[in-house]
Each structure stands twice: as structure tokens, then as C-alpha cells.
């Protein structure tokens, strides 16, 4: 009789159960075991902020299948014939004897279990600032179900009035919204000059403005120097500039690091970024051990370099690959990531895929060209909502390198389309006539995605000479005094305007008022409107009348993140 293969999975959050389930589907006769340190299984950790924020109230929804069945050990045994042991910590891996040592946390009982194939899915651990007072009561992360339960209790009790969120990344911003919706006065503290560093500065500042408009405070370019407390309880945080902010709660969201302790102790190869080194089969330096999820390093598909990518969707995809390979032979691969992500920011969404302009330049890519498009996701008569997209491409080949999108419109759709374009190595020319689904309830006749490609095509061909809001602001700060033309109508100008020395010349009147423009045909002229469609038409008209240095402020007033007159 053939001996059954035993596949042991360490970790029961996202990638571990996915690996176990896939292994079972591939080999119906194998023994499949999950050893999970926590008391819960298959936690939807990306849903924690929304549970805390009251978007739903049933805790079990974080643990359920799409049909509402809780994924507990009984479910895994009955539905999948998988032995899922919770509250069981793996303490060591013996690669020579193909076994793991474990400890039952409820009883203290210890034991060993042999494996034929092992999958490590130990996830990540939150980073904590190395400052005094970090052990005070009232300081937490949002990494575990325990954390989510604690913050949900804070919300439901309504006793805490002031809180700080340390870190302006995905989790920090989502936590900010969750606590602000609970009526807590929130301050977000970010060490870097901007929130959401996957965005370039001009879009990140628009997100920051939206967060402030929703009532939260934001402090950038400042970090935590110490947590202050009395009788063991948090009472304030001290910033690096000396400011003290009274608070009763601090949520630390400054990122995570791979949890590689047992892998490292077992002698498995650890990469330069301190994640477990795996190949395309999710196989470690030991051929009988696979690793998946937040604890591994993966490849950036654009640059070919190793990166850390702690995303729930990637964890599931990697788990699926490792599970199939562990149950059979190395027959499927995980190609890497382009680091696509999205988060909800009150009424906005903010998403990105591929490289930002900042990242591309940091990598030394010299042929980088960008363009910004501000326009609605569908017609106004269908209550279209604003989208602001920044597209990054290779100026020589036209290949799409990255895209970012923010706004109250359908950001997810835009980022999904750009992600496929990047993975398919498509160029701007491939996309200008993309055949996408169109009907007014869903899209403009020329979808925002295609319109962004059109703008990039015009820029690459020299038809659109664009300048960003950031560049215009810098010119104003340096007192360079380009001739600025606002091409909107008088009513629009009266409602909102920048107040940076612009001249109002509506597009319809421009050709009749050319005498008001600089006599010097080489004088820098910058045109704009609400979204700079009229600004582009104005620039073409001026070029047709002999002006040689005419630019368009990309995205118009809509994309302007700086102070304005009204």
C-alpha cells in the first residue's frame, strides 16, 4: 500500500489555508495539516478596519466563506478533510528529520509532527517605533483579530475622545477613517513628507486635503519621539519637533516585517530584504519546504528586483501555487508582482499599480514621461464622479510603467485596467483604441482610461506640452512669473480660483483678445481650466498664432493640491 503524503502548513491566515485547500484538491489522499498559532483561521485581515469602523457588526463575517460558513477547524475537517489545529505554535523545524516541533498554547503540551512537504506561511509582524513608552496601555497595532476586537470595543464603548494614528500608509489611513467615524478626534502622524507613499506627491497631497476635509488632523514630516503616560496608561505622544499631543489611544501602522524566525533558525536562506528566499515555484532553499505570503520576498515583474509585497491577494495566489506544487511536482509558478494596491479614504479611493514616477527615477530609469488626467468616470447626467489619474510610461518605447488614480469615482476599475496593461507589457499606442464596454451608466464614451492614454500619446508626440500643478506651484514660489491663463467662464472664476497671478480669458473669447497676451512670442504661457480640456484647446490656439512656449497645467484646478484664493 502506498504511503500517504503528509503536507504540513505552518500558519492559518490567508496563504496557509489557500495552500492547504489547493493541496487537497490536487491530492485527495494526502494528509493535509494546518498548524495555526492564533485561535482563528482564514481571517480576512484587510477587513479589520471596516469591522472597527462599523461597516458591518458580525465579527464572524471576517472568518466566513462567501456563503456565510465560518472557517473553523470543524469546517476544514468536514468540508475539506484538512486537520486544522488552532492555538498551536510551531516552535522549530527540523529539516534533517522532516519534522516540526509544536506547542499547544492552551495546555502547554508539546510534540512533533513529521512532514513530506512543508509550507511556511508565518506572515509578518508589525514594526514598532524604537522610542520610550512603547509598552504603555493604549498603544496597539491593527495586525490581528485581537487588535481588531480591541479597537472595535473602543468604538462601541465610546469612551476615548482623542487618538493618534502613527503612519500614513494603507492601514493607517483606513484606521483613521474607522476611528473618525466613531466620533474620535484623530491625528495622523507621518514621518515622511506625504501620506500613501505609493502615490507621487501631487496626488498624495490631494488625498491629504480630503482627509483634512473629513475632520481628521494630518501631520507630515514629523515622527514620534516618545509615548507619554501616567500609571502605565498612555496620555500623550511627543513628536520629534517637541510638540506633545494629548491622546488616550495610539494605533501604530508604520509597516510590517517578514516573520522569518523559525525559517531562519531552520537554516533556510533569507534574502537581502529579510524575507524568506523562494524561487518561482515558491520553493525555499530546502526542496521539500515552500514559503508563501508576507514572510517571503518576491520579484517585481517590471524591474526584476526582489521586493516585499505584503498584500492579501498575492498571499492567496502564492498559496495556491505552493499548494499545488507541494501536492504534486513543481508544475506551476508565481511570476511576481507589479505591486497593485488600493485603499478607501473616506469618500475617495486611492490606488496604484506598477512604478510611481518617484520609484522609476530612484531606480535610475531615464526615459520616464508622465501625464495627469482629471475627468469623470461617467457622464454628468449619470452622476459621474471625479477621477484623477497619473500615468507613467517609457518615453522611448511607450510601454506603460505605472499608474495612480484617486477620487470618488470608480478608481478600482481604472487601476485594474492599468494593471493588466502593465502585466501585458502594452504600450500607449496599444491602448488608444482599446475596445472597452461602454454605456452611460458605466463609463464615458471615451473611458477615462482611454482618455488618459490619448493625453499621453499627445504628450509623446509633442502636441501636449504639459506642466504639473507641482511645477506651476514651484514657479510661483520662485517668483518666475509665467503668464497664466484661466480659460474658464467668469461665473466659474468667481466661485473658485487659484489667485496666483492668473489672467481670466475664457476660451470662447481668447482669439478676440490675443492683444492682451505677451508680445514676446517666446514668453512662457501656461493655460488651464477646471480639468484643462479648455486649457489644451487654448494652448493649441495660441501655438497656431505664433506663441512658441505654451504649456498646459495637467489636471487643471481639479488637480491643484495647494492653497488657493477661494
- Are residue 544 and residue 520 in the same domain, yes or no? yes
- Are residue 210 and residue 250 in the same domain, yes or no? yes
234-238, long-range: CB < 8 A, 24+ apart: 234/133, 234/136, 234/137, 234/138, 234/139, 237/164, 237/166, 237/189
Look at residue 566 and tell me if it is in a domain. Answer: no
Calculate mean pLDDT across residues 469-486: 96
pLDDT at 12: 96
- Are residue 204 and residue 191 in the same domain, yes or no? yes
pLDDT at 366: 87
pLDDT digits (tens, 9 = 90+) for 516-526: 999 999 999 99
pLDDT at 2: 66
Look at residue 366 and tell me if it is in a domain. Answer: yes
- Are residue 477 and residue 545 in the same domain, yes or no? yes
In angstroms, rounded to a whole number, what is the distance separating the alpha carbons of residues 426 and 438?
21
Q: 341 pLDDT band (50/70/90 cuts)?
A: very high
- Are residue 220 and residue 290 in the same domain, yes or no? no
- Are residue 317 and residue 370 in the same domain, yes or no? no
pLDDT digits (tens, 9 = 90+) for 266-287: 999 999 999 999 999 999 999 9
Q: Which of 254, 277, 307 is the last residue of a domain?
A: 254
Q: What does the block give as the cell for 210? A: 480630503
Look at residue 407 and tell me if it is in a domain. Answer: yes
pTM for this predicted structure: 0.95
Q: What does the block give as the cell for 471? A: 511645477
* CATH number of the domain to which 489 belongs: 3.40.250.10
Number of domains in the chain: 4
| Neighbour-count burial for 126-140, b at 16+ CB within 10 Å, e otherwise | beebeeebeebebbb
* CATH number of the domain to which 198 belongs: 3.50.50.60
pLDDT at 249: 98
Please tell me whether residue 224 adopts helix, strand or coil conformation. Answer: strand
pLDDT of 207 over the 90 cut: yes
Calculate mean pLDDT across residues 226-250: 97
In angstroms, rounded to a whole number, what is the distance separating the alpha carbons of residues 465 and 459?
6
Q: Which of 229, 254, 279 is the last residue of a domain?
A: 254
pLDDT of 1 over the 80 cut: no
- Are residue 353 and residue 420 in the same domain, yes or no? yes
- Are residue 484 and residue 454 in the same domain, yes or no? no
pLDDT at 37: 97
Calculate mean pLDDT across residues 420-428: 98
Nearest to 386 by CA among 395, 397, 377: 377
pLDDT at 3: 80
- Are residue 380 and residue 231 in the same domain, yes or no? no
pLDDT digits (tens, 9 = 90+) for 144-178: 999 999 999 999 999 999 999 999 999 999 999 99
Distances (CA, A) of 525 to 462, 480, 502, 535: 16, 12, 10, 11
Q: What does the block give as the cell for 389? A: 489619474
Look at residue 43 and tell me if it is in a domain. Answer: yes
| Neighbour-count burial for 281-290, b at 16+ CB within 10 Å, e otherwise | bbbbbbeebb
- Are residue 264 and residue 357 in the same domain, yes or no? no
- Are residue 450 and residue 354 in the same domain, yes or no? yes
pLDDT digits (tens, 9 = 90+) for 447-470: 999 999 999 999 999 999 999 999
- What's the domain range around 545? 466-559
Whether 316 contacts 14, CB under 8 Å: yes
Instruction: Report strand pairing: 249-252 vs 466-467.
Output: unpaired
Q: What does the block give as the cell for 73? A: 477547524
Look at residue 153 and tell me if it is in a domain. Answer: yes
Look at residue 338 and tell me if it is in a domain. Answer: no
Look at residue 131 and tell me if it is in a domain. Answer: no
Please tell me whether residue 17 adopts helix, strand or coil conformation. Answer: helix
pLDDT at 381: 97
- Give Dmax (Cα) for the chain: 96
- Whole-number mean pLDDT of the chain? 97
Residue written as grid cell 495660441: 542
Helix axes 145-157, 170-181, angle to 10 degrees: 30
Look at residue 164 and tell me if it is in a domain. Answer: yes
Q: 294 pLDDT band (50/70/90 cuts)?
A: very high
In angstroms, rounded to a whole number, what is the distance separating the alpha carbons of residues 16 and 12?
5
Q: What does the block give as the cell for 473? A: 506651484
- Are residue 96 and residue 167 in the same domain, yes or no? no
Calculate mean pLDDT across residues 543-559: 97
Q: Which of 460, 478, 511 is the last residue of a domain?
A: 460
Distances (CA, A) of 55 to 62, 64, 252, 349: 12, 16, 22, 16
Amino acid at each position: 500500500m502506498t504511503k500517504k503524503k503528509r503536507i504540513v502548513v505552518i500558519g492559518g491566515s490567508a496563504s496557509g489555508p489557500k495552500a492547504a485547500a489547493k493541496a487537497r484538491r490536487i491530492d485527495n489522499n494526502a494528509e493535509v495539516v494546518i498548524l495555526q498559532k492564533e485561535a482563528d483561521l482564514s481571517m480576512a485581515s484587510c477587513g479589520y478596519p471596516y469591522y472597527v469602523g462599523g461597516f458591518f457588526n458580525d465579527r464572524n463575517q471576517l472568518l466566513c466563506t462567501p456563503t456565510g460558513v465560518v472557517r473553523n477547524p470543524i469546517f476544514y475537517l468536514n468540508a475539506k478533510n484538512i486537520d486544522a489545529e488552532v492555538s498551536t505554535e510551531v516552535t522549530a523545524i527540523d529539516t534533517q528529520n522532516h519534522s516540526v516541533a509544536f506547542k499547544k498554547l492552551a495546555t502547554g503540551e508539546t510534540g512533533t509532527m513529521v512532514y513530506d512537504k512543508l509550507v511556511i506561511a508565518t506572515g509578518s509582524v508589525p514594526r514598532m517605533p524604537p522610542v520610550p513608552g512603547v509598552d504603555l496601555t493604549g498603544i496597539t497595532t491593527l495586525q490581528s483579530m485581537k487588535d481588531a476586537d480591541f479597537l472595535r470595543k473602543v468604538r462601541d464603548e465610546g469612551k476615548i475622545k482623542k487618538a493618534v494614528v502613527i503612519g500614513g500608509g494603507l492601514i493607517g489611513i483606513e484606521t483613521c477613517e474607522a476611528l473618525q467615524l466613531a466620533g474620535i478626534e484623530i491625528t495622523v502622524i507621518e514621518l515622511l513628507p506625504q501620506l500613501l507613499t505609493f502615490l507621487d506627491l501631487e496626488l498624495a497631497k490631494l488625498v491629504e486635503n480630503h482627509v483634512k476635509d473629513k475632520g481628521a488632523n494630518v501631520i507630515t514630516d514629523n515622527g514620534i519621539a516618545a509615548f507619554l503616560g501616567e500609571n502605565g496608561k498612555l496620555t500623550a505622544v511627543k513628536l520629534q519637533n517637541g510638540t506633545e499631543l494629548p491622546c488616550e489611544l495610539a494605533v501604530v501602522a508604520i509597516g510590517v516585517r517578514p516573520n522569518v524566525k523559525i525559517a531562519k533558525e531552520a537554516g533556510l536562506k533569507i534574502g537581502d530584504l529579510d524575507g524568506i528566499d523562494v524561487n518561482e515555484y515558491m520553493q525555499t532553499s530546502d526542496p521539500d519546504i515552500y514559503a508563501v505570503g508576507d514572510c517571503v520576498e518576491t520579484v517585481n515583474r517590471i524591474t526584476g528586483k526582489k521586493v516585499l509585497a505584503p498584500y492579501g491577494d498575492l498571499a492567496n495566489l502564492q498559496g495556491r501555487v505552493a499548494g499545488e506544487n507541494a501536492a504534486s511536482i513543481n508544475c506551476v509558478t508565481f511570476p511576481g508582482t507589479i505591486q497593485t494596491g488600493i485603499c478607501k479614504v473616506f469618500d475617495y479611493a486611492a490606488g496604484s499599480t506598477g512604478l510611481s514616477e518617484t520609484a522609476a527615477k530612484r531606480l535610475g530609469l531615464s526615459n520616464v514621461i508622465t501625464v495627469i488626467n482629471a475627468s469623470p468616470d461617467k457622464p454628468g447626467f449619470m452622476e459621474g464622479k471625479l477621477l484623477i489619474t497619473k500615468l507613467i510610461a517609457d518615453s522611448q518605447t511607450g510601454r506603460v510603467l505605472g499608474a495612480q488614480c484617486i477620487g470618488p469615482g470608480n478608481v478600482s476599475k481604472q487601476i485594474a485596467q492599468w494593471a493588466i496593461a502593465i502585466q501585458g507589457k502594452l504600450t500607449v499606442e496599444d491602448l488608444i483604441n482599446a475596445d472597452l464596454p461602454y454605456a452611460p451608466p458605466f463609463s464615458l464614451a471615451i473611458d477615462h482610461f482611454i482618455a488618459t492614454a490619448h493625453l499621453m500619446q499627445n504628450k509623446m508626440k509633442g502636441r501636449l506640452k504639459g506642466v504639473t500643478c507641482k511645477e506651476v506651484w514651484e514657479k510661483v514660489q520662485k517668483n518666475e512669473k509665467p503668464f497664466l491663463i484661466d480659460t474658464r467662464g467668469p461665473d466659474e472664476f468667481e466661485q473658485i480660483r487659484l489667485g496666483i497671478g492668473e489672467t481670466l480669458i475664457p476660451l470662447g473669447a481668447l482669439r478676440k483678445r490675443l492683444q492682451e497676451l505677451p508680445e514676446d512670442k517666446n514668453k512662457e504661457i501656461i493655460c488651464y481650466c477646471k480639468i484643462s480640456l479648455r486649457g489644451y484647446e487654448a494652448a493649441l490656439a495660441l501655438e497656431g498664432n505664433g506663441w512658441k512656449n505654451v504649456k498646459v497645467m495637467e489636471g487643471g484646478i481639479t488637480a491643484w493640491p495647494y492653497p488657493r484664493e477661494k
